[in-house]
Amino acid sequence: MTEHTPPIDKQDYEALSEFRYQLRRFLHFSENAARSEGLTPLQYLLMLHVKGFPGRAWATIGELAERLQMQHHGVVALVSRCEKNGLVRRQRSPTDRRQVQVHLLPAGIEHLQRLALLHRAELNSLQDTFRVARITSFNDGER
């Protein structure tokens, strides 16, 4: 710890603990919501990252690997399972034949929309909790 770094006090630990608790509760909610749609949590995340990729409605296998923090071959297997279930389709890039684009299919969009509505409501209910969990010593270095 340097001279300019304020010590972490009990309140900071409580805020960190509460944040991690609420984050885990949200992740648990998300996993259960995906399963209730007949999807695995990773299938839901894959579709979310395809739909939510900045600037376009598709993503490459490599981009999805980064977003999911998975190995390339693991994402290929996940995409294969989603493709088999009619959720996504692969398409070779028209500009770079080495790239594989992943696009959502109508069934994937329907699942994703239902889950996104549930997640938005859950996030809205947690909004105040995450705001309270802000730790001033970690944000601005002042006490």
C-alpha 121/C-alpha 123 separation (Å) is 5
What per-residue confidence (pLDDT) applies to 16?
A: 86
> And the tokens for 42?
């990773």
Q: Does 135 have pLDDT greater than 50?
A: no
Residue spans of alpha helices (H) in the chain? 10-36, 41-51, 61-68, 72-84, 106-132, 136-139
Average pLDDT over residues 127-142: 57
What per-residue confidence (pLDDT) applies to 43?
A: 98
What per-residue confidence (pLDDT) applies to 132?
A: 58
For the chain, list the domains and their CATH numbers: 10-135 (1.10.10.10)
pLDDT interval class at 143 (50, 70, 90):
very low
Global pTM reads 0.83
Residue 72 phi, psi (nearest 5)? -50, -50
Q: Please, which residues bridge with residue 89 across strands?
A: 103
DSSP 88: E
pLDDT digits (tens, 9 = 90+) for 95-121: 888 899 999 999 999 999 999 999 999
Average pLDDT over residues 57-74: 96
pLDDT interval class at 18 (50, 70, 90):
confident
